[in-house]
Chain A
Amino acid sequence: MIYFLLIPVIVYFVIFSYIPMTGLVMAFQNFTPKGGIFGSPWVGLKHFADFFGSTYFGRLMRNTVMISVLDLLWGFPAPILFALLLNELRSKVFKRTVQTISYMPYFISMVIICGIIADFTSSEGVITDLFVALGGERKNLLGQAGNFRTIYVASNIWQSVGFSSIIYLATLSSVDQELYEAAALDGAGRLRQVWHVTLPGIASTIIIMLILRMGSMLAVGYEKIILLYSPATYETADVISSYVYRKGLQEFNYGYSTAVGFFNSVINTALLVITNAVSRKYSETSLF
């Protein structure tokens, strides 16, 4: 009986996850929709060679890594810090208020967030006004390649810090109060208490979140990039996944796009596996 129940679920994964994996063969072909998989000429590793040798490769790798690293550097600690600060509040009402306000941006859709960003950073936008007030030139900030990473990372933090802090706040509340008392008796001030009691208490949560984060390092969310970038900012904004989209679905270079996407998936998987293995070795926490 149970096997019958499971059929639709298995079928779903076969059709939408596993069969497309066989489509990766397009990466080795000069694919045309007319020829299909069996009728398109084989070109072996040509697409990969073209990609690695192209002038864009360096730029794409650099952008993807830089945006990922900056996003990680600023965006990963932010919810932890936010949770720690909230945890120090004595007024429960104030804490809940700030928390509730902080989740709000998370529920606003990506399109709207980007619409707001585009408006605020346009030449008459609010953020541009602030920029001018601090001595900058009045320009369309989003159209300047140099600003892209800052805008991207800052808006990520704005949108997700509240929601991401939930899991840390939950773990923080489970840290044994007696440990704090013991530390205080030993003469530890609040800062030391945080260092020796709080952080170790939430360490395993932090590590799991970090592993999950690392796994999507190279999958820099193409949706937001595609919504925000423009040819003027390709220099810093174009990442591997947005390039895959452009080559495949705008320029219809199916084989090449699949090859680049394949490369991307492989690296992501490798990163996830490596991070998981490292974590398993040096702490007891791991995802699998």
Chain B
Amino acid sequence: MLNKKSPSRRVFEVCNVLFLCLIGFVFLAPILHVVFASFSDPVELGRKTGIILWPAGAPTLEGYKIVLNSPNILSGYLNTAFYVVAGTVISTLLTIIGAYCLSRKSFRYRNRVMLFISFTMLFNGGMMPTYMMVRNLGLYDSRWAVIIPSAISVFNLIIMRTSFMEVPDSLEEAARIDGASDLVIMVRIILPLSKAVIAVIVLYYAVAIWNSWFPAMIYLKDRAKYPLQLILREILLTNDTSIMNSSADSVRNVSLYAQLVKYCTIVVATAPILCIYPFIQKYFTKGVMIGSIKG
């Protein structure tokens, strides 16, 4: 294959690399700014203008001390941990069951049920009717209100179903001849062969639940049940500084520390995700491809 490179091609390649370096910086810079600012001295932080790419003033852990001592952050984390674990388990189980049943060719009503479920992606009752439903079920101010109403994502179900349909029919037929029931086939044949897609779906649900705040906001009244994101919203977006005053030595000048605490809160809330992220991002890329519709 001829591989002569014209000068304009070389120029393009150099420009491309430079441009993408710039883009990469744009992606990283806000994160770096927040991280370094969180270690900065609050007085210097207030004075400095422009992006912070190194702690301003003497690095300090003062902001982190306040954040990590705040009972709201702790309870937020615990609640979110509960919601993520319980929610992911419930959602994944339901999705597996649904995807399995809808992937069996022998299921006579398969297409009708598929339509029944897919229609909900197209049209739904809307915010108010769903809210009333949850209230009428007695779930208001209950932790289950955060988990159950959004338990099944049709999108995820379709991805899983498509993947289950790839399992060769011969395996199922052989099992049936041996007298296996549907439950046995699902557990002993389909699941072991679908570990990859199940991992992806578990991830999708877990990340969605981790990030979710709106259902908690409309269905929960008791602060003790708030997930982390909702607590963060109060700290970061409603300028509610009462969160910070609940630490033991609140003789601090709150407004001085307000911005520093915000940065520390962001780091404390996002660090776990950014640390796990390199390991899980390959599952996400795989997931997107499994789900891609072969046009």
Partner-B contacts on A (CB < 8 A): 1-2, 5-6, 8-10, 12-13, 15-24, 26, 33, 82, 85-86, 88-90, 94, 97-98, 100-105, 107-112, 114-116, 118-120, 124, 126, 129-130, 133, 158, 162-163, 166-167, 170-171, 181, 184, 189-190, 204-205, 207-208, 215, 223, 226-227, 241, 244-245, 248-249, 254, 257-258, 261-262, 264-266, 268-269, 272-273, 284-285, 287-288
Contact = CB atoms under 8 A, between A and B. Distances in A.
A115 B266 contact: yes
A16 B213 contact: no
Contacts of A82: 23
Nearest to A133: B50
Interface in B225-283: 229-230, 232-233, 235-237, 259, 262-263, 266, 269-270, 273-274, 277-278, 281
A107 B274 contact: yes
B72 to A, nearest CB: 14
Chain A binding site: helix, strand, loop or mixed by DSSP? helix
Nearest to B280: A107
A265 B98 contact: no
B262 A115 contact: yes
5 contacts: A107-B281, A124-B49, A190-B12, A265-B124, A269-B123
Q: How many interface residues does chain B have, given as a range?
A: 35 or more
A36 to B, nearest CB: 9
Contacts of B237: 111, 114-115, 118, 227
Given A6-B98, A116-B266, A170-B292, A105 B27 contact: yes
A18 B9 CA distance: 57
Contacts of A287: 293
Given A1-B181, A269-B122, A257 B233 contact: no
Contacts of A18: 120
A80 to B, nearest CB: 14
Nearest to A12: B152
Given A23-B125, A97-B24, A190 B9 contact: yes
Contact of A265 (B113, B126, B230): B126
A9 B211 contact: no
Given A9-B152, A103-B277, 16 more contacts: A5-B100, A9-B101, A12-B151, A15-B137, A22-B125, A33-B135, A100-B278, A104-B274, A108-B273, A111-B211, A111-B213, A115-B262, A166-B289, A190-B9, A249-B127, A254-B128
Interface of B: 1-2, 6, 9, 12-13, 16-17, 19-21, 23-24, 26-28, 30-31, 33-34, 46, 49-52, 94, 97-98, 100-101, 104, 106-107, 113, 116-118, 120, 122-133, 135, 137, 148-149, 151-152, 181-183, 186, 207, 210-211, 213-214, 218, 229-230, 232-233, 235-237, 259, 262-263, 266, 269-270, 273-274, 277-278, 281, 284-285, 288-289, 292-293, 295
Contacts of A105: 27, 31
B116 A13 contact: yes
A112 B128 contact: no
Nearest to B232: A111
Contacts of B213: 109-111, 223
A167 B214 CA distance: 28
A205 B232 contact: no
A224 B17 CA distance: 33
B210 A109 contact: yes
Contacts of B152: 9, 12-13
Given A111-B237, A115-B232, A227-B233, A21 B125 contact: yes
A170 B288 contact: yes
B133 A19 contact: yes
A29 to B, nearest CB: 12
B28 A101 contact: yes
A265 B2 CA distance: 55
B218 A162 contact: no
A111 B229 contact: yes
Given A2-B107, A254-B128, A23 B133 contact: yes
Contacts of A85: 16, 19-20
A133 to B, nearest CB: 8
Contact of B120 (A1, A17, A241): A17
B193 to A, nearest CB: 18
Given A116-B30, A244-B126, A265-B124, A20 B132 contact: yes
Given A100-B281, A112-B236, A9 B123 contact: no
Given A124-B46, A204-B295, A207-B295, A23 B129 contact: yes
A13 B183 contact: no
A86 B278 CA distance: 19
Contact of B207 (A12, A107, A215): A107
A26 B273 contact: no
Contacts of A167: 288-289, 292
Contacts of A261: 126-129
